[in-house]
Amino acid sequence: MRLKSFIVFFKTKAIITVFFLFSTTVFAQKVVRYDLYVKDTLVHFAGKEKRAIAVNGQIPMPTLTFTEGDTAEIHVHNQLKEETSLHWHGLFLPNKEDGVPNLTQMPIRPNTTHIYRFPIIQNGTHWYHSHSGLQEQIGMYGNFVMLKRPNDPSFRKGIDDLPTLPIVLSEWTNLKPENIHRMLHNANDYPALKKNSVQSYGEAISAGHFKTKLLNEWKRMLAMDVSDVYYEKIFMNGKPSSELKSISGNELKGGDKVRLRISNGGASSYFWLTYAGGKITVVANDGNDVEPVEVDRLIIAVSETYDIIVNIPADKTAYEFLATTEDRTNSASIYIGIGIKQLKSSLPRLKYFEGMKMMNDMMKMNGELDDMGMAMSLNQMDMNVVMYPEITGDAKPKQDDNDPNRYNANALGDIVTLNYAMLKSPTITALPKEAPVKELYFKLSGNMNRYVWSLDNKVVSEADKILIKKGENIRIILYNGSMMRHPMHLHGHDFRLLNGQGQNAPLKNIVDVMPMETDTLEFNANIEGDWFFHCHILYHMMSGMGRVLSYENQMPNPLIPNPKLAQRKLFADDRKFHFMAENDFATNGNDGMAMLQNTRWSIGSEWRIGHHVFHGYEIETHIGRYIGRMQWLMPFVGFDWRYRKFGIDEQETNLFGQSNSKDLRSLFTVGVNYTLPLLIIGQAEIYQDGNIRFQLIREDIPITKRLRMSFMLNTDKEYMAGFRYIVNKNMGITSHYDSDMGFGAGITFSY
Partner 1 sequence: MKSIKLLMAMALMLSISTCFAEIKNAKVETVHIYGNCSICKKTIESAANVKDIVQVEWNKDTKMAILTYDEKKTNQDEILKRIGLAGYDSDKFLAPDNVYAKLEPCCQYERTGKIVAKIEDVKTVILTVEEKVVTPILTIKIQGEQLKEVFDSYFAVKDALVKTDGNLAATKAASLLNSINAVKMESLTKDEHAEWMKVMKDLVFDAEHISETKDAGHQRDHFTYLSKNMYSVMKVSKQETPTYYQFCPMANKGKGANWLSKENIVKNPYYGSKMMGCGKTVETIN
The footprint of Cu ion (CB under 5 A) covers 89, 303, 486, 535, 537, 540
Please report how the helices 352-362 and 210-218 are oriented relative to each other, as an axis angle in degrees rounded to 10: 40
Asked if residue 254 binds partner 1 (CB under 8 A), the reply is yes
Asked if residue 163 binds partner 1 (CB under 8 A), the reply is no
Of 112, 206, 405, 661, the residue at the interface with partner 1 (CB under 8 A) is 405
Which residue type is seen at 589? G
- Residue closer to partner 1 by CB (options 405, 562) is 405
Of 342, 605, 658, 715, the residue at the interface with partner 1 (CB under 8 A) is 342
- Can you give 381-392 as a three-state secondary structure string? CCHHHHHCHHHH
3-state secondary structure of 623: strand
- Residue closer to Cu ion by CB (options 328, 486) is 486
Determine contact, residues 720/737, Cβ cutoff 8 Å: yes
Please, what is the minimum distance in Å from the beta carbon of residue 319 to partner 1? 9
- Residue closer to partner 1 by CB (options 72, 295) is 295
Q: Which does 156 bind (CB under 5 to 8 A by kind): partner 1, Cu ion, none?
A: none
Please, what is the minimum distance in Å from the beta carbon of residue 233 to partner 1? 13
Question: What does DSSP assign to residue 193?
Answer: H
What's the CA gap between 514 and 481, in Å, rounded? 9
What's the CA gap between 736 and 742, in Å, rounded? 8
Q: What are the CA-CA distances from residue 592 to residues 147, 589, 608, 618 (Å)?
A: 59, 10, 7, 11
Site string for partner 1, 663-702 (x = CB under 8 A): ----------------------------------------
Determine contact, residues 330/324, Cβ cutoff 8 Å: yes
Q: Which does 339 bind (CB under 5 to 8 A by kind): Cu ion, partner 1, none?
A: partner 1
Determine contact, residues 503/428, Cβ cutoff 8 Å: yes
Q: Which does 414 bind (CB under 5 to 8 A by kind): Cu ion, partner 1, none?
A: partner 1
Q: How many CB atoms lie within 10 A of CB 466?
A: 17
Q: Which does 486 bind (CB under 5 to 8 A by kind): Cu ion, partner 1, none?
A: Cu ion
Asked if residue 426 binds partner 1 (CB under 8 A), the reply is no
Asked if residue 313 binds partner 1 (CB under 8 A), the reply is yes
Please name the residue ranges forming H helices in 393-485: 409-412
Determine contact, residues 723/708, Cβ cutoff 8 Å: yes
Question: Rg of the chain's alpha carbons, rounded to an integer?
Answer: 28
- Segment interacting with partner 1 (CB under 8 A) among 228-236, 244-252, 339-347, 659-667: 339-347
Strands 518-524, 495-497: pairing is antiparallel
Asked if residue 413 binds partner 1 (CB under 8 A), the reply is yes
Determine contact, residues 607/619, Cβ cutoff 8 Å: yes
- Residue closer to partner 1 by CB (options 243, 606) is 243
Site string for partner 1, 260-289 (x = CB under 8 A): ----------------x-------------
How big is the CA angle at 541 (ends 537 and 547), to the nearest 5 degrees? 125
Of 95, 143, 263, 317, the residue at the interface with partner 1 (CB under 8 A) is 317
Asked if residue 159 binds partner 1 (CB under 8 A), the reply is no
Q: How many CB atoms lie within 10 A of CB 402?
A: 7
Q: Which does 540 bind (CB under 5 to 8 A by kind): Cu ion, partner 1, none?
A: Cu ion
Of 343, 430, 637, 727, the residue at the interface with partner 1 (CB under 8 A) is 343
The DSSP element (H or E) to which 182 belongs, if any, is helix 177-185
Question: Restricting to residues 357-396, which ones interact with partner 1 according to CB under 8 A?
Answer: 393
Q: Which does 535 bind (CB under 5 to 8 A by kind): Cu ion, partner 1, none?
A: Cu ion
Please, what is the minimum distance in Å from the beta carbon of residue 316 to partner 1? 5
CA dihedral 429, 431, 437, 438 (to 10 degrees): -50
Residues that bind partner 1 (CB under 8 A): 241, 254-255, 276, 294, 313-317, 339-346, 393, 405, 408, 410-414, 416
